C-alpha cells in the first residue's frame, strides 16, 4: 500500500526525481512506527493523569474524604512502569520527540471516562499486581477508549495523514507489545517490530517501486492489450498502478506465489479504488497472467512455487 501511495504521488507530480520519492516511501513506512510510539506514550500519559487528578481533588477548597483518599493505583501500574523504563522505548520516544503536552485534555478525557467504568473499579480492588494482571486495564484503555475516542482520531488524523489507513497495523503492533512484555525487568521486554525482517522488506518495497517506474511502458502494454474495448481515461489511475505493480511482482519477484500477488492487489483495490475495481483488476490480471505464462516470463522458485 505504501508503494502504491508513493507511485500515485510520483505519477501526479511534475518532479520525476525517483530518489526523492524513494526517500518519501521509506519515510511513510517509518511514520507507522512513529505513530506506534505516540500511542504507547499516550497510555503512559493516561496513567500519569491519575496522580494529576488526585492532586487536584485533594487541593479543592472543601475536599471530601473521597477526594483526600483517591486510589492512584493506575499511576504505578506494573506494565506502565516497565514500559516507561524500557531503554528502546526511551530511545524511540526521544528520536521522534514525542510529548502529549500539546494536548493535555486528551489524557484527562480518557481518564474521566475510565473512572466511570466497572472495569476500572474492578482493577482498583484486585490484589494481583503481576505484569500480566496489570496489563488487562491498559488493554481496556487502549481498545475501548483510545481507539474509540473521536478526539484522539482527530489529533492523529491532523498529525499523520495516513492514520486511518495504518490504524489496523498499529492495533496489531500494540497488541504484540502487550504479548511481548512478560518480564518486570524493563530491558527483558521487546517493543513490536514493524516487520519481521525490515532489511529484506525495505529492499522489496524499493525494488517494487523503482521497477514499476522503470518498466512502466512494458507493463502498460500488457494492460492496454487486454483493455482494447476501454478508453484509457475510463480506467482509474489507481487501477492502472495496481495492475502495473502486480505485473512487476509476477515477473520480477520469484519468491512470491502467483496467488498471493493476485489476491493482494485485489484486496488493496477494495481499499483504494472504485467499488467494482477489484473485479475488473482480477479479470484483467487473469488474462495477463495467461499471456506471461505463455511467454515463459513467470519463473517462481522455491518449494511450492515452481509453476
Beta carbons of 36 and 174 less than 8 angstroms apart = yes
Sketch out the chain's domains with CATH numbers.
31-188 (no CATH), 215-294 (1.10.940.10)
The pLDDT of 186-205, averaged and rounded, is 94
Return the pLDDT at 65: 61
d(CA 295, CA 307): 13
Residue 281, pLDDT > 60, answer yes
Q: What is the pLDDT of residues 93-132, one digit of tens each?
A: 999 999 999 898 999 999 999 999 999 999 999 999 999 9
pLDDT of 229 higher than 90: no
Helices (H) and strands (E) in the chain, counts: 15, 0
What's residue 240's pLDDT? 94
Show the CA angle centred on residue 35, arms to residues 147 and 40, nearest 5°. 65
- In the predicted structure, residue 58 carries a pLDDT above the cut 80: no
Q: Is the pTM of this model over 0.85?
A: yes
What is the chain's Cα-based Rg?
A: 25
Amino acid at each position: 500500500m505504501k508503494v502504491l501511495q508513493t507511485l500515485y504521488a510520483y505519477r501526479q507530480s511534475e518532479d520525476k526525481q525517483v530518489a526523492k520519492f524513494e526517500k518519501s516511501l521509506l519515510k511513510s513506512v517509518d511514520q507507522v512506527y512513529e505513530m506506534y510510539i505516540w500511542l504507547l506514550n499516550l497510555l503512559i500519559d493516561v496513567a500519569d493523569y491519575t496522580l494529576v487528578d488526585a492532586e487536584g481533588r485533594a487541593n479543592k477548597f472543601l475536599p471530601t474524604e473521597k477526594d483526600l483518599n483517591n486510589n492512584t493505583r493506575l499511576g504505578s501500574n506494573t506494565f506502565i512502569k516497565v514500559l516507561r523504563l524500557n531503554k528502546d522505548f526511551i530511545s524511540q520516544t526521544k528520536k521522534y520527540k514525542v510529548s502529549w503536552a500539546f494536548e493535555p485534555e486528551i489524557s484527562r478525557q480518557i481518564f474521566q471516562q475510565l473512572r466511570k467504568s466497572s472495569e476500572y473499579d474492578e482493577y482498583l480492588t484486585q490484589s494481583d499486581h503481576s505484569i500480566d494482571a496489570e496489563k488487562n486495564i491498559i488493554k481496556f484503555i487502549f481498545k475501548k477508549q483510545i481507539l474509540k475516542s473521536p478526539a484522539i482520531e482527530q489529533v492523529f488524523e491532523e498529525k499523520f495523514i495516513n492514520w486511518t489507513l495504518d490504524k489496523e497495523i498499529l492495533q496489531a503492533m500494540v497488541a504484540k507489545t502487550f504479548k511481548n512484555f512478560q518480564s518486570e525487568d524493563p530491558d527483558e521486554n521487546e517493543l513490536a517490530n514493524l516487520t519481521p525482517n525490515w532489511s529484506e522488506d525495505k529492499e522489496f518495497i524499493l525494488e517494487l517501486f523503482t521497477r514499476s517506474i522503470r518498466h512502466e511502458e512494458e507493463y502498460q502494454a500488457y494492460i492496454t492489450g487486454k483493455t482494447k474495448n476501454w478508453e484509457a481515461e475510463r480506467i482509474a489511475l489507481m487501477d492502472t498502478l495496481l495492475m502495473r505493480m502486480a505485473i512487476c511482482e509476477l515477473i520480477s519477484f520469484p519468491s512470491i506465489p502467483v496467488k498471493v500477488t493476485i489476491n493482494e492487489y485485489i484486496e488493496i483495490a477494495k481499499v483504494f479504488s472504485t467499488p467494482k475495481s477489484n473485479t475488473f483488476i482480477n479479470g484483467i490480471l487473469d488474462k495477463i497472467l495467461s499471456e506471461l505464462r505463455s511467454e515463459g516470463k513467470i519463473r517462481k522458485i522455491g518449494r511450492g512455487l515452481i509453476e
